[in-house]
Every structure is written in structure tokens, then in C-alpha cells.
Structure 1
Amino acid sequence: MSSALKLTPDRSFYPSARLAMQGPPETLAYVALLDPTTRRADALAVVDLDPASATYGQPVHRLEAPFKGDEFHHYGWSACSSSLYPASGHAFSERRYLIVPGIRSSRIYVIDTKPDPRAPKVVKIIEPEEIFRKTGYSRPHTVHCGPEGIYISALGAAGARGDEGPAGIFVLDCNSFEVLGRWEMTRGDQFAHYDFWWNIPQNYMVSSEWGAPPLFESGVVPEALMGGKYGHKLHIWDLAARKHTQTIDLGANHQMALEVRPAHDPAKTHGFLGVVIDNTNLEGSIWTWWKEGNEFRAKKTAVIPPQPADPALLPDLLKPFAAVPPLVTDIDLSLDDRFLYVACWGTGELRQYDVSDPMAPRLAGSVQAGGLAARTAHPSGAPFHAGPQMIEISRDGRRVYFTNSLYSTWDDQFYPGGVPGQMVKCDVGEGGGITIDKDFLIAFPDGYRAHQIRLEGGDCSTESFCFASA
């Protein structure tokens, strides 16, 4: 599958974040589409993002999977700027293949975006049985290209319920896409899993927790939420030794510690974590972690309060509270490490924080679209369903895209009226501030919901860099 060895690195690989910001703007996006009814297969939509194109702002192709019921969710590239790490041995890989897991089927598709990036094709399928046999894991989730190959987090372990043991990370060979096995050598007390990312030169990984599959596959379990049973810990790892070194417990009231976003400049040792909800007051929060001596610390540095609401406007789960929690379901960090974007899926807000001082995030901008109670229309006048969810930022930091589906059963629980797939673009001011582009609103075909976005040539939740920015 992989092309013949090239003599120069892929031009979309950059040694540093600052150099990546100077690269050409994105012209295509790949968007995960899922059919929650499973009457048809999930798909990958190709969206034209070239303003000079006659089809700008439109889906130009849809690749349907050969199987039904996968639930496309998070996915990533087989290679990125981390390939330039001097010890990786993969400097001549290509940003060519998308690795797309099905979180419900535990099946993985390898999708080739060349020779025609507008018409990608499935070139390999990794069946769930191979993943189970070689790793003991299930429910593959986040994909990162890294120093040893392609890393994939798994939210489940063995057994029909996926809770017969700890979840974790496994690795694919970056050329053959064969499953190599579990990544962890020494696990420590880590059991649940969600997101992970790293600082390669400083040799650490951070991972987070959602919960075992019985806590999320059929929707939120209220008793577990109020009982503090969801994930609330950060885990620190020695990246080279594949060894767990530290656990940071945020407190059992801070439920669902999800997305981790380390600083892109590897000279920095801080990063950010989004926590979905505090079960004592419904607030969402942002946490900053940093290294102090040989230990890591974490501190809550921004709080997003719930909004009072008429219970008649709320789903059954929230009626007793007469309030809408923000539900911080995604965060993303611009390549210059200046702006952190926070999706508040419950209140329908996308927040922009200036994190130039990572210990004191400052709200710099905000836009509203949808929301459980607010139900704010898109600036075009068209309704926007659910709220901002998966975020992706252009490399130069001037454009932010978002979609609106979280996870099929959670969509149904919080937004029982339906979550038709949509994609929105925001423009970012020179010194901060964001506005929704009133002329850009994509409605995907009826019945599909939209989740992860990947930008051709790389984006802010794909890349890890090997050299500090000048």
C-alpha cells in the first residue's frame, strides 16, 4: 500500500509549529459521517475549502464504508510532522492514509487519499478479531501518528461489554498497517481511557479517562454521573519506556476528563484538559497541567457556569436541574499556543480563550449556535442543530471549523429532536475574537450526523512537532 521510498520528506511536514503556520492554507476537509440507524454504512465526506473553487463550501465526494454499524468517530493520519523526529526512522513517510476506526464495531479502515485527494478509497480493513487477538482491546478511538508507528487509543477491553480489564493504547506499523500489539509496558493504576498526546523531545505522554463502555455506549448513566464513576484522572507516561509514572486525580466531582491538548512548541511542558461536567454544580472546566521539577501538576484555570433554563426546553435527564450545563465536549489549541477553543455542546457556545498565560486563560471571543435551550440559529438564518462539538483549527489559526454530533446515543439523549449533520466555519481576528461565517453552512445528506474533521495537509489536533519554534 505505501508508496515507494521518497528522497525528500512530505512537504506538509514541518519541523516546528511556527513553520507550519506559514504553510499553504487548507483546500479540503475530510469529515466523518455516521448513520445512527445503521440502515446504511457510515461515510467519509470530502469538503471543498478552496475559496477560489466553484464548489467551495460543498461536499464534493462521499466514500461509504463497505460495512454498516461502525460508528465513525475520531480518526487521524498515518503520518504527520512527528515523522521528522531524528530517531523515528520514518522521515520519508507521506501524509497520505487516514486511519478510521469504528468505535462500535472495533473495525479499522485504512483510506488512501491519493492519487486523487477528492476521491479517497478504502485500501485495507483491519477486522475486530485481529485487534482483540493481538491487543485484548476493543472500541478504538483516537489516532495519532507517532515515533513508533500509528498509536490508537482503545476505550474498551475484552468481553462483550468491553470491561473485562483495562483499556489502553495499541500500535499499528506505519507502512504495512499491521497490528503490532499493546503499547503499555508498565500500566500503573490506569484502567479507563480516552484521549492521549505527547511531547516527543521531552519524552512524556498524557492520557485521560472517559469510562468503561457500559458507562457510555447506551448513553449517560445518571447514577454513575452523580456517583462519580466516570473518569476524573490524568495519567503521565514515560514515552520511550512506555511506562506509567504518575496519576493526577482531579476529584471525583470532575466527571469525564476528556480532550488533552499539550502545547505545540515542545520547549514548553504545559497543556490543557477539558472536563465535561462538575456533578456538584453542572459547570464545565478547563485545567492546565505543567511540569514542576520531576513531577507534573494540574490546576483548574477556567470555569464555564451552567445557564438557568425552563425545564420544558430540556431533555428528561436535565429537567430536575432547570439548568443547561455547558458540556465541554471538545477543546483545540492553535499552533502558536495562543488560543484555546472550547466547545460547549450543551449551551451552544464556542469559546475562544487567550492562553498566552496558560495559568490564567482569558475569554477573548465567543459565538453561539444551537444549544439545548438557546436554540440559536446560524447567522444565515438557518437552524443549527445541537451545538458546537468537534473543533478543527487551520494551521495558520485564522479559521475554525466545527460539527455538531457528539456520539449517537448521547445525541439522542440530549437532543431527542435529532442532530442532522452540519459543519460551520468561523473566522478569527488578527488579535483574537471570532465570528461565524454567515455564508458557510454545510448540511450533510439526510440521516447522517457529522463528527471529526481532518484538514488536508494537517491541522491543530493532528500535529506534534520535534523542534522548538524560533
Structure 2
Amino acid sequence: MTDPTFYRSPADAIAAPREEVAYVAAFDRSASRPDAMAVLDVNPSSPEYGRVVGWTEMPGTGDELHHFGWNACSSALQHEGHDMAGLARRYLIVPGLRSSRLHVLDTVPDPRAPRLVKTITAAELSAKAGYSRPHTLHCGPDGVFLTCLGGRDGADGPGGIALLDHDSFDVLRAWETDRGPQRLAYDAWWHLNRNTLISSEWGAPSLIEDGLVPERLLAHEYGHALHFWDLAAGAHRQRVDLGEQHQMVLELRPSHDPEATWGFAGVVVSTEDLSASVWRWHLDGEKWRADKVITVPAAPADPDALPPALRPFGAVPPLITDIDLSVDDRFLYVSCWGTGELKQFDVTDPASPRETGSVRLGGITAHHEHPAAPGEPLSGGPQMVEVSRDGRRVYVTNSLYGAWDDQFYPDGVGAWMAKLDADPAGGLAVDTGFFPHGADFRGLRTHQVRLQGGDASSDSYCYR
């Protein structure tokens, strides 16, 4: 029988039962303790609502768990006759961005107690795919696509995509057959019905691991382009340059409509004015185009209140570090990690987003408090954002990446997670009953969230 969480269409995903647990990657910045997968109770009827109810430690230290995902999801329905015997949304594959190891966690039979069943070594990833520094993974129709920032044995590149087996989790090979001009990597997504994969660019490991390198940012050495590929062939087809001033093209969020040919990409910073932006890619005839549709300006600030890296500029950059698109394609959520704001935009017309909501938590200079903890200024800001399939709940965590946390929040980011309630007509409100933070995460920092049964950024759909 087909896994009931393999949804044929976005509408089926929206109508499915809501999530009862959330999985949160937690990491130890000092690399002296194991990283862990925390399990949060997100059922408001539960007496343990908002609490950590499961905790699975990784087998070593120094992983810095980052973006993780499912071994299989709705995209498995893409191919008629696809062998799905026994295939299920069961395993979480969890990359260590610093260690280049991959850990596989079984969420069955107890979703609150994921069990480590396999570790893929850095040596295997390097030998079989020629990559290191695994960053993001998405379950595809016939394998797991794992984007990697580094090249063989930790080299600066080129980065790219490793293909993993759905069932055995073995590293199969490098996905690319012809990479063309692509050298930097970050995220990858696709339009299945158009046989098109889109990839984005952050930077090589030497640009990332010890924090942002200001002189190399000003020299425009970070990524500033989108790449479009033949999904079946693994061959590069088109590069779209957003302009060298638009540094660090990160998260990709394609429309969930399988017939659509558009999506959004977030850009961290402009070297012209420290603004951040969101771009819409779309198919124009036979060519892909990209247009800036959202600009978030920097906020003026007292230089004495800024971390050293920002004092010369006298402003706080928004730093758009994550975006997420609701499954109905109606609302786009934009994390402004620098200013401590999560913005909501109505993107019913994707070419003309309209801001409809905002919540402020943390921020480099603002330290906006959570209403459940008055008098406790927050550090960090809304960073990773995940949206429930029905679009009613939005979860955020506050850590970006260890070295970058320390650079922009030198007094520490702590650890926290918040839940926001989204009004179907537009608007956001903080859930005051949900605020795991501090000791709840045992001294580890929080990063990505995945929701039981899938979420707004885990699945691609095959049918309307």
C-alpha cells in the first residue's frame, strides 16, 4: 500500500491530519558534546504541548547538524510504475555540515524516539560522489538529492549534488553529468512536470566555516546566480545572474502547483545598501528569467550597539536567511534574521507580493522579547521557518550557523523556538503557550524544523 503521507496533490496535503510532533536539529557549537535530534510535542490538546518529549543523540561530536529531510515523500508518485513496495516517509537523513557525516534516523515505530540506524561517513560521500560539507536534501522521485558545499576531501569545490538511494541510503554518485559554469552550491529544488531542477549558491567552505569574510563579500565572491538543469539528464541548461551585488542566493521555494513554472529565491544581502531581497523566477517562452519582487531595507543603528563586523556601516542588515511558501501558494514567509522579524506576504499574484503580517523576535540590536517571557531579551532572530501543510501554523528557530551566530550575535544567541498562528485572511500572532527555550534544549542551539507527515518545504506534488 502507498504511504498515506505521499499526497497526490497540494489539496490532499492540506486536508491531511495535522502534525503532532516536530523534529528540530540541535547542535553543540563547542563540538564537545554530541548534536541531537529534539522531538517537540506540537499537539495543543496534549499536556506536554510545547515541550521536548524526545532526544536522540548522534554518535560522535562536531557534526553541526543542519538541513535534514525525509528519505521519501510525495514526489515518489511522479513515475508511473515506480517501485514503491515498502517505500515510506519513515527515515530522516540528517547531514553534519562540519563533519560531512550523514546520520539516518528511523521514526518508526515511535515518532517520539527516532532511532539511529546508519551513519554515512565523510569518506564514503567523498569517494562515491566527490563532495563534502552536505547542506540540504530533498526526496526526489527516484532518489535523495543532497546538495553539498565542498568538493572531494573537503576541497573548496566545486560543490554540487550527491544522489542517495531511497532505501539503502547508499551514496550512488554525483548527480551532475555536465555542470557547465556552476561551481558554488546551496539549495536545489525542481519543477517535476517541466523536467527542470533549479539550484542556488552560497559559497565555498573557506567562505563559510569561520564566518562571513567581509573583504570577500565586498569583492563579490559569494554566490549571486540561479542555475537551471535538465532534471533527468543532470545537465546544466541556463545560468541566471542576479547581479554580483546580490550576494548569497539561498533558499529556493518553487510553487507547489505541479503545472506552475515559477518560484521564489531569497538573497541575503546587497553590497550596495545592505538590503535583502526575494526574487521570482519564471519561465518566459523557452528561457528562465528572474525578477526582484521584494526588497527589505537595512535599519539604521548606533554603531556602538553593533557587532564589530557591522560598525563601519551604521546599520543592521535584514539578512534574509530563509523563506517558506505555504502549500496553497498563497503566503510567503521571509525570515529577517538580522533585524529579528518574520514577514508574511500575500503572493496570490507572485509577481507583486503584498505584506500582510509581521512578528518581531530577537534581532541584532532590538532583542525583541517573546510575550511568554517578558523581561527576557532574545538574541538571534527568526531564522529557519517551517509552515504546516494547512498553512495555519508557522514554526521558527533562531540559529543560523555556529560561526555566523558568533559573528553577528557575539554575546550569544541562546536557543529558542517559537510558533506563530497564521490567519487565513492574512496576519500573524505569537502563540504564547509555545516557547521552548534555553535549558529545554540542553545547551544546544536550534536549527531546522521538520513536521510529522511533511510540511510546506518537504514535498513536491505530481498532480492537481
**TM-score per shorter chain, which class?**
over 0.9
Q: By how many angstroms is 1:430 displaced?
A: 2.0
Amino acid at match of 1:178: D
Q: Secondary structure of 1:438's partner? A: coil
Q: How does 1:40-119 map to 2 (within 5 A)?
A: 40-87=33-80, 89-92=82-85, 93-119=87-113
Q: Matches of 2:321 and 2:429 in 1, distance apart?
A: 20
Q: Deviations over 1:28-55 (max 9, x none)?
A: 0000000000110000000001111111
Match of 2:410 in 1: 416
Please give the TM-score of this superposition, normalised by the length of structure 2.
Answer: 0.98
2:431 corresponds to 1:466: no
* Matched residue SS, 2:216: helix
Percent identical pairs in the alignment equals: 54
Q: Which amino acid aligns with 1:26?
A: E
- Code of the residue aligned with 1:457 in structure 2: it is G
Residue 83 of structure 1: how far off its partner (Å) = 1.0
CA–CA distance in structure 1, aligned partners of residues 300 and 80 of structure 2:
53
1:421 alignment partner AA: A
Give the Cα–Cα distance (whole angstroms) in 1 for the partners of residues 79 and 130 of structure 2: 32
Task: Give 1:446 deviation, angstroms.
Answer: 4.1
The question of whether the paired residues in 2 share the 8 Å contact of 1:84 and 1:90 is answered with no
The correspondence of residues 33-432 of structure 1 with structure 2, limited to 5 A, is 33-87=26-80, 89-92=82-85, 93-160=87-154, 162-163=155-156, 165-380=157-372, 381=374, 382-432=376-426
Q: Deviations over 1:95-136 (max 9, x none)?
A: 100000100110000100001111111001111111111111
Query: Residue 405 of structure 2 aligns to a residue in which SS?
Result: helix
Structure 2 residue matching 1:33: 3-state secondary structure: strand
Match of 2:38, SS state, is: strand
Give the RMSD, CA atoms, in angstroms: 1.0
Structure 1 residues 262-290: Cα deviation after superposition (integer angstroms, max 9, x where no partner): 00011110000000000110000010000
CA distance in 1, matches of 2:55, 2:304: 38
1:226-261 deviation line (CA, Å, top 9, x unaligned): 111100000000111111100000111000000010
Contact (CA 8 Å) 1:420, 1:446: kept in 2 or not?
no
Structure 2, unpaired ranges of 5+: none
The one of 17, 20, 24 aligned to 1:27: 20
Instruction: Give the structure 1 partner of residue 4 of structure 2.
Output: 11
Partner of 1:5: none
Q: How many pairs were matched up?
A: 459
Instruction: Tell me by how many angstroms 1:186 deviates.
Output: 1.0
- TM norm structure 1: 0.96
Q: CA deviation at 1:90?
A: 4.1
Secondary structure of the residue aligned to 2:345 is: strand
Read off the aligned partner of 1:441 and give its amino acid letter: F
Could you tell me whether the CA contact under 8 Å between 1:379 and 1:438 is conserved in 2?
yes
2:441 is paired with a residue whose SS is: coil
Q: 1:199 to 1:274 in 2, by over 3 A?
A: same
Q: Following TM superposition, where does structure 1 have runs of at least 4 consecutive aligned residues deviating by more than 4 angstroms? A: none
Q: Which amino acid letter does the alignment assign opposite residue 3 of structure 2? A: D
Q: In structure 2, give the amino acid aligned to 1:463.
A: D
Deviation at 1:384, TM superposition (A): 2.4
- Please give the alpha-carbon distance, in whole angstroms, between the structure 2 residues aligned to 1:451 and 1:226: 27
The CA deviation at 1:158 is 2.3
User: What is the deviation of 1:330?
Assistant: 0.2
Query: How far is the alpha carbon of 1:447 from its aligned partner?
Result: 2.3
Tell me how far apart the structure 1 counterparts of residues 168 and 66 of structure 2 sit (CA, whole Å).
Answer: 23
Runs of 5+ unmatched residues, structure 1: 1-7
Q: Report the CA distance between 1:159 and its aligned residue.
A: 4.4
Q: Is the 2:79–2:141 contact (alpha carbons within 8 Å) kept by the matching residues of 1?
A: no
